[in-house]
Structure formats: C-alpha cells, structure tokens
Chain A
Amino acid sequence: METVVRFQNFAKSFGTKTVHEDVSFDVYRGECLGLLGGSGAGKSVLLRTLVGLEKPDRGQIWVEGEEISKMSERQLINIRKKVAYVFQNGALFDSMSVYDNLAYALREHTKLAEDQIHDRVINRLAEFGLAGNERLFPSNLSGGMQKRVGLARSIILEPSVVLYDEPTAGLDPYNTKRICDMMLRLKQKGATAIFVTHDMPAAFSVCDRIAVLKHGRIHAIGTRDEIEQQDRWVARFIQGEEI
C-alpha cells in the first residue's frame, strides 16, 4: 500500500501545554482514516499541521513523498494545491458570493477562462445540491449549506488528499448524511482522507480505519473491530460510556 501521509514522532506544545508528545501513523492512498479522541486531544492540530498552518516542535510530516515540516509559506503552496482542508464552520469568505468562493482557487491556480470556471463552479454546485445559490452570500446560507459550500470550495482543484475537520458538527441527521454521502463519493473517486470527528456513526460509515488519540499519542489504530478488541478503553470511548 502506498503511503500518502506520514506523521513521524510528531510533537507539538502550546506554551506549557503539551498537546502531542510522540505521534506516528501512516495514511494510505485511497483510504479514509478517522481521527477520534476527547475534546482538546489535538485532532485539529494534526490536520492544521498537515497544511502548514501549524509547525511541529519535533518530528517529520510527509505528504505525497515530501517532508513539509520545514517548508516556507511559498513552498507550501504546492502542497496546499494537493491537500484540501474542510473547515468545521466552512470558513467561507463573507465578502464574496458563493460563486466567487468556489471560483477563488480556480482563478488563483489555473489558467482556465472565465466561462470554463463558470461551468466548473456551476457543475460543482449542482453536484453538492446547491444549484441556484451561486449569487447568495455566506450570511444568507444555513449552517448545512455553508458546510457544503465549504466542502465544494475545498475540493474544486481536485486534490489528492482531503482533510475534514468536524464537517458534520452541529448538523441535523439529514445534512450529516448528505455530507457523509459526498465524502463517500470523493473516496470512490480515489481521494485519500483524514476525518476528524466526534460523530461515531459518521466516522464508521465513511472511514476504513480509525485512529484514537490519547495523552498526546496514537492510542489505537485499525479497523473498528480491531481497535475495540485491542483496548477496553477504546471500546468504552466509542460506545460513549464513562471513562
């Protein structure tokens, strides 16, 4: 199996608070890895580090065969074209319409003509059930729609890796299912993904493997059955029992 993302002895602290002591794991091409852990376990920090929004204190991070931990902002641009980040709240540009939010990366990184960009944006919006909303601004959208626009914007450049930071948080079951279906569709197209969530049913419906973070380390990693059998604490955590 080809490794697409590799964390090797990763450590990160914020001031006196150590979030990660020694994190190592691999993500293989085409798989979706669920990242679970209690609140404040540092799941989002791992994702942010993968796109260079945070720098590790120690260790190495490999993306598509390139070590990114010491890359400059300019060098990271090429990595960021390959790795999409889906923010929890969408992080849409509120001064731009839905259309311009989606067209943003295409205008910046491709030489497509405006009519080609238009076609690509309209198709993507239709694919995500957002047809007809292109002229609206983020403030006019519901939470679920904002997340779908955020997801559509993130993958408009057709990245090889997608990082989902709690994309289903705060959504009703119907919208959660829509987001999960979109994630599954991307997975079928061959995208590698890391899915940070507290939503266990969503994680199990989308992910091939699950990694559980505890005390700044990967406490368990494997399929659902494997990690539940490996460790009683993990089984209780997944079941939502008191631990």
Chain B
Amino acid sequence: MAHGPSQNFFSRWLFSTNHKDIGTLYLWFSFAMFLLGGFFAMVIRAELFQPGMQLIKPEFFVQMTTMHGLVMVFGAIMPAFVGLANWMIPMMIGAPDMALPRMNNLSFWILPFAFAMLTSTLFMEGGGPNFGWTFYAPLSTTYAPDTVNYFIFGVHMMGASSIMGSINIIATVMNMRAPGMTYMKMPLFVWTWVITAFLLVAVMPVLAGAVTMMLMDINFGTSFFDAAGGGDPVLFQHVFWFFGHPEVYIIILPAFGVVSQIIPTFSRKPLFGYSSMVYATASIAFLSFIVWAHHMFTVGMPIAGELYFMYATMLIAVPTGVKVFNWITTMYKGALTFETPMLFSIAFVILFTFGGFTGVMLSIAAADTQYHDTYFVVAHFHYVMVAGAVFSGTAAVYYWLPKWCGRMYDETMGKVQFWIAFIAFNITFMPQHFLGLAGMPRRYSDYGLQFADWNMVSSIGAFLYGGAQLLFLYNVIRTIGWGKPIDDPQVWEGAEGLEWTVPTPAPFHTFSTPPVVK
C-alpha cells in the first residue's frame, strides 16, 4: 500500500491513473493551449493595431480568429476546469481517486492528439479552418478548405475526451462520496461540476452529430446543410447552438464553483445562500437548453419565435442574479482580506456581472439586429469568458497551488499580475463595446478609419494582458521550484472543507480510508 508515483518520468505521466497527476497534466496542457490561443490573439491584435493590411493576409487572419476561438474554448478553458475537477473533486468529497482511473488517463491523452491534428492544418496546403469557431455551413462545408476533415476529427476527439471526463466526474460524485457527505453538503465546486458534467454528456454528442453531418455533406454526398440537395444551412445553426448555448454554461458553471469556494474563505464567513446557489446552478443549466436561437435572431425567425427566445434568455438573468447577490452578501460584513485569489474572484464578480448586462442587451431581439456579429458581441463574450472563466481559473490556481505543491507563491508578484491583468483586460475589451456599437463587424482583417483609435487602444491592452500571463507562468514555476515551503494543512486561515484536512503538500494518495463527515 501507499506506494508513490512511478520513478520513471515517462511511465509516471503517460500511464498515470492518479487523479492528481492527471489533473496536473490537464492543467499544464490547458496552459500550453492558453499560450497558443493567446499567441493567435496577439497576431489578430497586431494586425488590427492600424487600419490597412500590415502583417498578414486576410485569408490567414480568418484562420487566426477561428483557431483562437477553438483553441481557447476547447483547449484552454474546458481542460483547465477538468484539471481542477480531477485534482479537487476527490479531495473535496473524501474519495481516494476518480471512479474510473484508466478512462481518466484515456480522456486526457487523446486531447494532445486532437489539438495536434487541429493545429497541424495551419501548415497544410489550403490552410487551417477559416470559417469562424462557430463553423457555420456552407462556409465550413461547400467553401471549406480540404483540411476541414482534420478539424472534424479533432472535434470528435475533443468531444470523446469531454464525455469520458464528465462520466468520470458523475460516477465519482454519485458513488464515492465519504460517509455522511450528502448531496446538500457537497462543496459548491463539486455541485457546479456535476451539473456541468451532465450538460457535457447531453450536448457534446450533439456537437459530434453536427460535425458528422458536415463530414457526410462534404465527403459522402448527403445534403443536411446543402440547399442544392434539399437541405438547409439554417438547420446547421440550430444544431450548433443547441450545443453551443449549453457550452457557454459548461465553461462558466465550474468558474462559478471556484469563486463560491474562494469568496467564503477570504471573507471568513460561510457561503451565503448555499441551497439557493445549487438551485440557481441547476436552473441555469435547464434554461441553457431552451434559449439557443438568441444567437440567430437575424436568420429570419417569425416574430413569435423571436419573442419567445428573447424572454427565455432574459429569464437566465434571474438565477444568475441570485448567484451574484449571494457572492456579494457572503462578503458583506465579512472579515475580508485581499490575497491574489480573492482579488481575482472579486474582479470576476464585477466583470462577469458587466458581461452579463451586455448579454441582457444582446438578448433584446430588436436591438440585436444592430449588435449582431459586431465587436459588441466580441466584447460581451470576452467579458464573460476571460473575466469570467480565465480569471476564475487563475484564482483557482493561486488558491490551491500551495496545497498542491506545499509551497507559497509570491504574493506581491501575484498582486502585480492581478492589477496588470485587470487593467489590461479592460483596456482591451471595453473599447470593443464602442467599436461594435459604432458598427465595426467581427472577423474582418481591416476596418474603416473611424475605428482606428479604439483599435489601437484595444491592441495595446491585449499585448499588456498577454504579458501578464507570462508573469503568471513565471510565478507558478517559481512557486513549484523555489517557493517558501509551508506545511499547514489549512493553508488559508478561513478555508473550510475536506481538501484542507489532508497534509500540505497533498500526498500522492489521499483518503485511502474515507473520512466521516458529520
């Protein structure tokens, strides 16, 4: 019993079935993808620094916007939260490991191959995918480069990975909770992840179905999306967004979970309204299935359809408002301290709420006709994806890193990174609201002179934001290698939960005998 990890580097990481090692693999992979997607973003912002074409060709520009979206959504954000789930869920519910450890290994190791396949298309004849991350047909079928087949198989593999990862999480949480850990005693991070996992099992197959139909249209002469054979391109948009809307909650719900762990710790108060948080999460998940067409108000829907999707979308603001209310109320009259994870979490609450408000603006069908496919939309979803998911992921790393490696990160450097990231983020994306309202369309490599100033501001912010991520990488590496050792299991004064009862750094095997939760 209690043997450690394999001493051989390759067998340790390639064959690992240990939830902590696989979590680490997921997190490093996701950070690598974050840097790759970030590099694509830097190319985009460099080209948009000035009007006119300076650095790259328009054909390459659209490949960059497409790859940036795909890599960030499927390569950076989703695996980051799966990595956090792998590390934290067994420790939070008192389980020795994930329920299906070998499947866990498989679900990670197909990801690098999926992204190698996707990224390799950039070096092929015809170039990478150039149809936007939403890959609307017929742009992605009739008019796509031949490399689209690599893209399709890449998406199939990512989907398989996500589905296996989710099944593992569901099985772990349903079957392996410590005695006494009832569902309504689970930490909120576990709750949000279980709900997310169900969303993934439900909608990743729909994405796989969408790309399979594309594959058949392209190679086997079917006409799902081809009007020439009696199909309909608008059907593609319905199928895609039937996946795509739940997908945005797949990204943000675990982020909600992380913030719901961190804010109580640094407020030294239990989370306000725990059960309402659980029900709000479940409501958001349910509503996410019935609002998809608000992404396509301009396809020519009947007015009744527009009204339905508009009101249903606005309804999501209610459970989301409950969550924001609870986070703020948790902080109210708390003994607050502002360590780096808390700073990122507070910024998350503020900026995510801001992004939520622009979401409500976009949900108004009549107004959406103006905002549709402009930089206003780009600004909106970067406020919820970057200031939402990425800020929360960063907060999570700072929060749990000392527990993982038994060393404290540099607090000053963390705070410096936070303030650079916070300010640079707003410099980047705040002006994009103005650009969008003024009519600048997204995904174009050039723009009219009237958009020049704000684009330059936005680009400067983006470079600064990219720099902050390098500081983050440096801080993490420095912590793991040379950080101040700590051995307090609690790590944070106000932290509560089973993961803080195991020694610091967390041993290779934890909870081999289940703890009893009172």
Q: Do A and B bind each other?
A: no
Chain B interface (Cβ < 8 Å from any Cβ of A): none
